[in-house]
Amino acid sequence: MSEPSAETTPQSILRLEGVRKHFGANEVLRGFDLEVAEHDVICLIGASGSGKSTLLRCINLLETVDDGAIWFDGRDICDPRVDADEVRREIGLVFQAYNLFPHLSALDNVTLAPRKLLGRSRADAEAEAHELLGRFGLADKARSHPDSLSGGQQQRVALVRALAMRPRLLMLDEITSALDPELVGEVLDAIKELKAEGMAILMATHEMAFARDVADRVAFLADGRVLEEGPPSAVLDAPAHDRTVTFLRRVGSGYSGPGPHIG
Amino acid sequence: MSDSAVSSGWSPSETQLARLAWRHRRARRRTWVALASTVAVLGLTAVVVVSSPGWTRVRETFFDWSEAKASAPEILDGFRTTIQMFLLAEVCILAVALLVAFIRVVPAAGLAPLKLVAIVYTDVARGTPTLLVIYLIGFGLPALQLQGIPTSPFVLGVIALTFAYGGYVAEVMRAGIESVHPSQWASGRSLGLSYTQTLRMVVLPQALRRVLPPLINDFASLQKDTALVAAIGVFEAFRAAQVESASTFNYTPFVVAAIGFIALTIPVARFTDWLALRAVRREQGATA
């Protein structure tokens, strides 16, 4: 990082090469290539079933890939000799349905992994958790159980839980899709703050306005591949592919440029 | 509801008052119907039993007050052993059941032979009559004359009850573990927790909470099945009743023992009700 060239060519932390994954007869990923650099925010867009979630689960090693390589931190984490638990500590994943631990308070949800995996003392982990919860507007919710929190609050706790492990890469799987429209804003604001701090983020999303605003790059997924990739101004405002145009019109992204007519 | 409404200066409309009055009348009518039908059924049953030709004989054989008084001290003494046995057995059963459930749930290839043992054990334990298990372990085990095998009927009884109930409880635990949504596993693993850590700290606490009512149901059943170890000569409550009964040819001591067994399961039943109620309250959003 201290080298001057780091400014112009930011270091890559994640690189996917030809990743394939199928479930039964359904080929979800068909040779998937993608690169995430330090401090990058990359938004994955695409129709339901285009492989966004599968991709994130493969990177988190929750699914085993059929072929290809996932380079993280200079090594191929698809190698079965790699300690998956160790990799997962460095890659945070936040789910659409929050998946908080219902039997634990917000505070315990956040401190469980740091205490068990990073060897932090309870006092130490809790101090940091309180600080993080406070930053995301949850200072008074530390003792609450997930069931007594709103969806937006639960999702912010889930975000804090992932951040408490101090991941090098944060992956967000459509984390606002299950929220009421009025609660989406509070979660997206939290992500903006993380971007400002330089967190590398790979997120699947349907929030086109947010992607335009925050993403460094947008990747449009179709047929298990990246069909089109580039800065939001290119992919969202001047898409090169008809498929992208069709998708953007369907999701009502506000795109009104040229492209195939949909009747 | 109504309290907060009153505090905001609202008073119910005529229509609402009429609804409330009607609901009140309906509730009172239903209470009367329930009360009357209960009294009628119980009364009729009592009349039929008491007026039956053999009632005097039955009353003398099963419900003799002086017999009850005479046998009560011995039987109460026997309950001390009964309680010790089922408490000890419950601890052993929990340990065995958790172990068997883990072996069946954990997807490690190396555990395959143990999985087979666990499956055979649950099948055999659940399918064999408890009395036979008690005979086999109580008489068969010491008859092997192996070094280190316990000979105390008390210990053998606990082993037999543990064997007989471990299968049931293991299946309850397994169902509980499998009822926890896979997303909880994904959530734990994605943080970097190992399989065992996720099982122990994320899945098991949720599973145990869910299976508590069926678990306690099995333990209530175990409490009364403890009476079966009388067959291998453990002097517990039922055996005490047998001895008392044999000396007078009167069955009243068994009824005394039965009342004792019922009295022991009632607190357990109320505890289960309370747990179920608490679960409902939690789901309705009240913070516990």
**pLDDT tier at A259, thresholds 50, 70, 90:** low
Nearest CA in chain A to B282: A147
A-side interface with B, Cβ within 8 Å? Answer: 57, 60, 62, 85-86, 88-89, 92-93, 95, 97, 99-103, 112-113, 116-117, 144-145, 147-148, 161-162, 165
- Give the phi and the psi of residue A164 in degrees, each rounded to 5: -65, -20
**pLDDT tier at A181, thresholds 50, 70, 90:** confident
**pLDDT tier at B287, thresholds 50, 70, 90:** very low
Best of A85, A148, A175 to disrupt the B interface by mutation (most B CBs within 10 Å)? A85
* Nearest Cα residue to A46 out of A233, A259, A231, A211: A211
pLDDT (0 to 100) of residue A6: 40
Nearest CA in chain B to A96: B183
Question: What percent of chain B is predicted at pLDDT more than 70?
Answer: 95
Which whole number is the average pLDDT over B127-149?
92
Q: What are A47-104's pLDDT values in tens digits?
A: 988 899 999 999 999 999 999 999 998 899 999 999 999 999 999 999 999 999 999 9
Residues of A in contact with B202 (CB under 8 A): 101, 112
Specify the range with the lowest mean pLDDT, choosing from A180-184, B23-27, B194-198.
A180-184
pLDDT (0 to 100) of residue A260: 63
Which whole number is the average pLDDT over A163-183?
91
Specify the range with the lowest mean pLDDT, choosing from A48-52, A252-256, B99-103, B126-130.
A252-256
**pLDDT tier at B98, thresholds 50, 70, 90:** very high
Answer yes or no: is pLDDT of A109 > 60: yes
pLDDT (0 to 100) of residue A5: 43
Residues of B in contact with A97 (CB under 8 A): 183
Angle at B101 between CA B98 and CA B106, to 5 degrees: 115
pLDDT (0 to 100) of residue A9: 58
- Assess B188–A contact: CB distance below 8 Å, yes or no: yes
Q: What are B145-193's pLDDT values in tens digits?
A: 888 888 899 999 999 999 999 999 999 999 999 999 999 999 999 999 9
**Phi-psi map region of B282: left, alpha, beta (phi>0 left; psi -120 to 50 alpha):** alpha
Instruction: Quote the pTM value.
Output: 0.82
Nearest CA in chain B to A116: B193
- Assess B184–A contact: CB distance below 8 Å, yes or no: yes
Residue type, B276: A
- Assess B4–A contact: CB distance below 8 Å, yes or no: no
- Mean pLDDT taken over chain B: 90
Between CA A164 and CA A110 the distance in angstroms is 6
* Residue B282 to residue A147, Cβ atoms within 8 A: yes
User: Does residue B282 or residue B87 have the better pLDDT?
Assistant: B87
Q: What are B101-116's pLDDT values in tens digits?
A: 999 998 888 888 999 9
Q: Which of A99, A112, A116 sits opposite B186 (nearest CB)?
A: A99
Which whole number is the average pLDDT over A37-42?
94
Q: Which residues of B193-228 are buried (b: 16+ CB within 10 A; e: fewer)?
A: bbbebbbebbbbebbbbbbbebbbbbbbebbbbbbb
The interface predicted TM-score (ipTM) is 0.88
Between CA A14 and CA A71 the distance in angstroms is 6
Residue type, B51: S
* Residue A89 to residue B192, Cβ atoms within 8 A: yes
Which whole number is the average pLDDT over A107-113?
96
Q: Which of A99, A103, A148 sits opposite B205 (nearest CB)?
A: A103
Structure tokens at B96: 């065995």
Task: Find all residues with CB under 8 Å of B184, minimum gap 6, and list them.
Answer: A99, A101, B202, B203, B206
Domains of chain A and any CATH numbers = 12-250 (3.40.50.300)
Task: Report residue B166 CA to chain centroid gap.
Answer: 14
Residues of B in contact with A169 (CB under 8 A): none
